[in-house]
Amino acid sequence: MLKVAAYCRVSTDKDDQVNSLENQKEYFTKYIHGNALWELTKIYVDEGISGTSTKKRQAFHQMISDAKTHQMDLILTKEISRFARNTLDSIYYTRFLKELGIGVVFLSDNINTLDADAELRLTIMSSIAQEESRKTSERVKWGQKRSMEQGIVFGRNMLGFDVVNGKLKINEQGANIVRLIFHKFVYEGKGTHVIAKELTEDGIPTINNGCIWHNNVILRILKNEKYCGDLIQKKTYTPNYLNHEKKVNRGQEEYIILENHHEAIISKELFLLAKKELNLRSPKDENKQKYSNRHLFSGKVKCGLCGSSFVCRTKKDQKGNAKRSWRCYKSLQRGKSNVDLEGYKVGCDCPQVNEENLKQMLMFITKNINIDNKFILNNLIININTVINESDSSATNEKAIEKLTTKINKINIKKEKLIELYIENSITKDEFLKQRDKLDIEIDIHNQELTKKSTRRNIDKQISKEDTKVVNKVGDKVTSVEYNFNKDKDKNLNESNILVSINTITGIVNGDEWSDAFYQAILERVVVFGQDRIEVYLKHSPEKWCFRIV
Nearest to 95 by CA among 110, 113, 109, 115: 113
Find the mean pLDDT for residues 415-443.
Answer: 79
Q: Which residues contact 77 (CB under 8 A, 6 or more apart)?
A: 6, 7, 8, 83, 104, 105, 106, 107
Number of C-beta neighbours around residue 201 at 10 A: 9
Residue 319 has pLDDT above 90, yes or no: no
- Distance CA(359)–CA(249), nearest Å, equals 50
Q: Where are the alpha helices (DSSP H) in 282-427?
A: 329-334, 355-368, 373-423
Is residue 41 within a helix (H) or strand (E), and if so which, with residue range? strand 38-46
- Distance CA(458)–CA(492), nearest Å, equals 19
Find the mean pLDDT for residues 12-21.
Answer: 54
pLDDT at position 30: 92
Q: Which CATH architecture does the domain made up of 2-147 adopt? A: 3-Layer(aba) Sandwich (3.40)
Q: State pTM to two decimals.
A: 0.38
CA distances from 129 to 63, 80, 136, 142, 405 (A): 22, 7, 10, 20, 86
Residue 320 has pLDDT above 60, yes or no: yes
Which of the four CATH numbers 3.30.1370.160, 3.90.1750.20, 2.60.40.10, 3.30.930.10 does domain 161-281 have?
3.90.1750.20
Contact 404, 444 (CB under 8 A): no
Contact 8, 28 (CB under 8 A): yes
CA distances from 410 to 61, 171, 431, 443 (A): 79, 92, 20, 10
- pLDDT tens string 252-281: 777 778 888 899 999 988 998 888 888 876
Q: How confident is the model at residue 480 (pLDDT cuts 50, 70, 90)?
A: very low
Is residue 30 within a helix (H) or strand (E), and if so which, with residue range? helix 15-33
Q: Which residues contact 419 (CB under 8 A, 6 or more apart)?
A: 432
Residues β-bridged to residue 232: 257
pLDDT at position 522: 83
Share of the chain above pLDDT 90, in %: 20
What letters, b where the CB count within 10 A reaches 16 and e where it falls short, cover 289-319? eeeeeebbbbebbbbebbebbbbeeeeeeee
Residues in the chain, how many?
Answer: 550
Residue 24 has pLDDT above 50, yes or no: yes
- Distance CA(149)–CA(256), nearest Å, equals 6
Find the mean pLDDT for residues 219-231.
Answer: 90
Residue 485 has pLDDT above 50, yes or no: no
- Helix (H), strand (E), coil (C) string for 392-427: HHHHHHHHHHHHHHHHHHHHHHHHHHHHHHHHCCCC
CA angle 489, 383, 363 (to 5 degrees): 110
pLDDT at position 488: 42
- pLDDT tens string 183-216: 988 888 888 888 998 899 888 988 888 888 998 8
Largest separation between any pair of C-alpha atoms in the chain: 113
Residue 474 has pLDDT above 80, yes or no: no
Q: Taking each helix axis as running N to C, give the angle between helix 58-68 and helix 87-99, from 0 to 180 degrees, rounded to the nearest 10.
A: 20
Q: Where are the domains of the chain?
A: 2-147, 161-281, 289-370+475-485+493-550, 376-467
- Helix (H), strand (E), coil (C) string for 133-165: HHHHHHHHHHHHHHHHHCCCCCCCCECCEEEEC
Residues β-bridged to residue 533: 530
Q: Which residues contact 394 (CB under 8 A, 6 or more apart)?
A: 457, 460, 464
Number of C-beta neighbours around residue 116 at 10 A: 6
Contact 302, 310 (CB under 8 A): yes
Contact 475, 540 (CB under 8 A): yes
